[in-house]
A and B are shown apart, each in its own frame.
Chain A
Amino acid sequence: MTTFEGVVAATRGRTANFRTCQFTGLKVDIAAQRLIIANAVAAVVFLAIGGLMGLMVALTRWPAVHLLPAEWFYLILTAHGANVLLYWIIFFEIAVLYFASAVLLNSRLAAPKLGWLGFILMVAGAVITNVAVLQGESTVMFTSYPPMMARPHFYLGIILFAVGALIGCGLFFATLMIARAERTYEGSIPLVTFGALTAAIIAVFTLVSGAIILIPTMLWSMGLIRDIDPLMYKLVWWAMGHSSQQINVSAHVSVWYMIAALLLGAKPLSEKVSRGAFFLYILFLQLASAHHLLAEPGISSEWKIVNTSYMMYLAVLGSMIHGLTVPGSIEAAQRRNGFNRGVFEWLRKAPWGNPAFAGMFLSLVMFGFIGGISGVVLGTEQLNVLMHNTIYVPGHFHGTVVAGTTLAFMAGTYLVLPLIFQRDIIWPRLARIQPYLFGLGAAGISMFMMGAGTLGVARRHWDINFTDAVIGFQHSPGAFLMMGMNGISAILAALGGILYVLIVVGTALFGKKIVAGHKMTFPLHSSANVVSKYGSEGHIKLPGTIVLVTIFFLSFVLYYFVNWKYLSDLWLFR
């Protein structure tokens, strides 16, 4: 164990400064707290920028509004992808990693100075890429498929960002080692930390894949490499692009468990099952690059089937398990809290007025029903041909990344603000409706884009009227209706997003300082600081959860076969 001791020894120079949280009893390293705040603030800044860009994109795609000219539309769309999908989410995830390691384990954070270096690299990278896009010669979309070429600093920015994020992951691993060596906790790490560990392991795979493909692509853009094969690029780029979405899944599932624990006192139904489900992610989620190669030339069906299904859907199995165990642990906790009548009293009397809970539960439901089911259908070898590169694809991933991850992170913020920023949330009435407003908008954009994609509307496309095309084409009226509804939903989501940013910034600057004895506006569960209430839930009947997962399963099977019916009506091809 020399490396182990080496890491611990190398970081021993610092005397950490701790405070004890009055609500949870956890010891919080002030250095970790500062880094969590910095990363969370950066995340919210990029969410604000990228979110407004998203609104402009949706308003342009609303045929009756058609906001931006074509050149600006494609430019803003490129920046929208990078700002929300990479910067907002990964900054927030780095904050989650520091929280799940240093704070939850009562440990000091390893090498906070390196953490600041990582942070600075990430900020610099994000700014450089945004500058490159706004200069106008790097309108290549977020995916930057060759032979379309961006300016070198477009790639450089993303590479710097990835290196910074890798440093953050390294600090997370080192903090786990320190906590173990210094015995700041007993037994195994908590489930939430285990989920964060899953996210960090996948993040290393992802960020390294990104570097492997973007460094040569940058050299190609500088004229030092002659050629980048477009198929090879896609294979490796999506090992970053899709697998990074699996960081999100692991991170937001951890956030679900964390919110359920802090607000309801929920325990996992069984440690073994929930951890096993995370472990399935580590083993199989990285195969997802195949989802982007199902419509490509020259790839064998055998390869596609094994990879696109994450090896017989074993990673989907992981998500389906969390789909049972998260609501199951909530039901068990609520029944223990006294809401034991009938099948659904536990759900009716859940703290729906607390934005952390409302956001978390909406995220859980929408990630499963909208993002999850559509993802499996879209990733089925033959069904992909029905939707490949139509606007169904952004419909699907707004279901996972906006309705799922973003909403879960917003919900988590309502706990980060009082517990880490130590400020009580301002405007509680507005905060109460924020997750519903944003959730409704996010559900709308996902479903209406999926609907329009089913009718053939292309993604990343400025003009569904084809006004300037030599050979005209007319989409069905339904497609225009769907794109209009998408625009309206985007306005709702944007209002929810603006509200979120205002509440976060307002609270961070003007929220009431939380001192000893303070009563929070949105209180935690009374058992949040009772250490003895840990462990698996044990025997308890969960009829409500059974009903929920049955509805989910039937919807899944039905939607799956409806799409096979659509496919069987197509022209024949082999």
Chain B
Amino acid sequence: MAISSPERRVWWNEPVERLELIWIAVALLWGLFMFFFMIAWHFIGGQNLSSEAYRVVPSAYQEKVDAFAEKYTVGDESGTPIVRPPAGVDVYLLGRLWQWWPVLQLEKGQSYRLHLSSVDWQHGFSLQPTNINIQVHPGYEHIITLTPTEAGEFGIICNEFCGIGHHTMTGKIIVVDSKAEAK
């Protein structure tokens, strides 16, 4: 039994049942498939998280976000500026206790280089209801080339615990369809 020593001293020479061999082969091949599918998705898929990141001093990041917001502010939502950058430029989003700042207005189908960082603790960028979730660290500036594929208002919530106000930390991305507006 499994609680007593193997019957034969040399158990590693015993033949293995065919059922076990088949299952091992199936499981091994499935594992290899899943492994290579991750690699393949980098070539065939449209959703791969960028590894482009830089070390940044939090106060320096704050200045960049402020300059960006000042340049492109078009409105205001409950005290947070709504920022509409032209298509294709670098876009900055800041996580801090307890808001995502500023509100971004993007165009459907256009690509933006989205910079993400925090000036205090770790935060979790969670775009809803789309469900894109990315960790945000202080001291690291993560750059993702993002292309919204649907128009509408999207919430950003925080899904990394960041203290007593964690559940009040929200933000927003508004995606407009300029072609639809033109019609």
- Contacting chain B: which of A166-174, A189-197, A402-410? A189-197
Contact of B83 with A by CB under 8 A: no
Interface of A is mostly: loop
* Given A147-B138, A305-B35: A192 and B2 interface contact (C-beta under 8 Å): yes
Q: Which residue from B4, B41, B141, B167 sits with its C-beta under 8 Å from A466? A: B167
Instruction: List chain B residues, Cβ under 8 A from A273.
Output: 16, 20, 24
A385 x B166 contact (CB < 8 A): no
Instruction: List chain A residues, Cβ under 8 A from B11.
Output: 187-188, 271-272, 535-536
* Given A147-B120, A301-B51, A571-B132: A324 and B2 interface contact (C-beta under 8 Å): no
Contact of B178 with A by CB under 8 A: no
B164 x A70 contact (CB < 8 A): yes
* Given A147-B121, A321-B23, A572-B149: A389 and B45 interface contact (C-beta under 8 Å): no
A270 x B20 contact (CB < 8 A): yes
Residue of B nearest to A70 (CB): B164
Cα distance A274–B23 in the bound complex, in angstroms: 13
B124 x A535 contact (CB < 8 A): no
Instruction: Write the A466-504 contact mask toward B (1 if CB under 8 angstroms, else 0).
Output: 101111111110000000000000000000000000000
Q: How far is the CB of A395 from chain B (nearest CB, A)?
A: 14
Instruction: Write the A262-277 contact mask toward B (1 if CB under 8 angstroms, else 0).
Output: 1001111111111000
Instruction: Write the B163-176 contact mask toward A (1 if CB under 8 angstroms, else 0).
Output: 11111111110000
Cα distance A269–B144 in the bound complex, in angstroms: 50
B47 x A385 contact (CB < 8 A): yes
A454 x B131 contact (CB < 8 A): yes
B168 x A297 contact (CB < 8 A): no
* Given A272-B12, A380-B34: A573 and B17 interface contact (C-beta under 8 Å): no
Q: Which A residues from 353 to 384 make CB contacts under 8 A with B?
A: 376, 380-382
B130 x A188 contact (CB < 8 A): no
Cα distance A567–B49 in the bound complex, in angstroms: 12
Q: How far is the CB of A520 from chain B (nearest CB, A)?
A: 17
Instruction: List chain B residues, Cβ under 8 A from A568.
Output: 45-47
A573 x B144 contact (CB < 8 A): yes
Q: Which residue from A297, A387, A456 sits with its C-beta under 8 Å from B140? A: A297
Cα distance A251–B20 in the bound complex, in angstroms: 22
Cα distance A226–B24 in the bound complex, in angstroms: 50
Cα distance A228–B48 in the bound complex, in angstroms: 29
A536 x B7 contact (CB < 8 A): yes
B170 x A469 contact (CB < 8 A): yes
Q: Which B residues from 47 to 76 make CB contacts under 8 A with A?
A: 47-54
B103 x A567 contact (CB < 8 A): no
Instruction: List chain A residues, Cβ under 8 A from B52.
Output: 298
Cα distance A71–B133 in the bound complex, in angstroms: 25
A325 x B24 contact (CB < 8 A): no
A187 x B53 contact (CB < 8 A): no
Instruction: List chain A residues, Cβ under 8 A from B121.
Output: 145, 147-148
Cα distance A321–B78 in the bound complex, in angstroms: 56
Contact of B158 with A by CB under 8 A: yes
Instruction: List chain A residues, Cβ under 8 A from B130.
Output: 570-571
Contact of B182 with A by CB under 8 A: no
Q: How far is the CB of A14 from chain B (nearest CB, A)?
A: 25
Contact of A430 with B by CB under 8 A: no
Contact of B14 with A by CB under 8 A: yes
Contact of A417 with B by CB under 8 A: no
Contact of B81 with A by CB under 8 A: no
- By Cβ-Cβ distance, the 3 closest A-B pairs, closest first, are A535-B7, A313-B31, A298-B53
List 11 extra interface pairs beyond A191-B2, A468-B167, CB under 8 A. A145-B160, A297-B140, A321-B24, A325-B20, A385-B47, A388-B135, A473-B157, A476-B129, A534-B4, A572-B146, A574-B50
What would be 24 A-B contacts, judged by CB atoms less than 8 Å apart? A145-B121, A145-B160, A147-B121, A147-B122, A190-B2, A191-B3, A269-B17, A269-B19, A296-B137, A312-B31, A312-B35, A313-B32, A324-B20, A380-B34, A388-B124, A456-B157, A461-B159, A463-B167, A469-B169, A474-B155, A535-B8, A570-B132, A571-B148, A573-B132
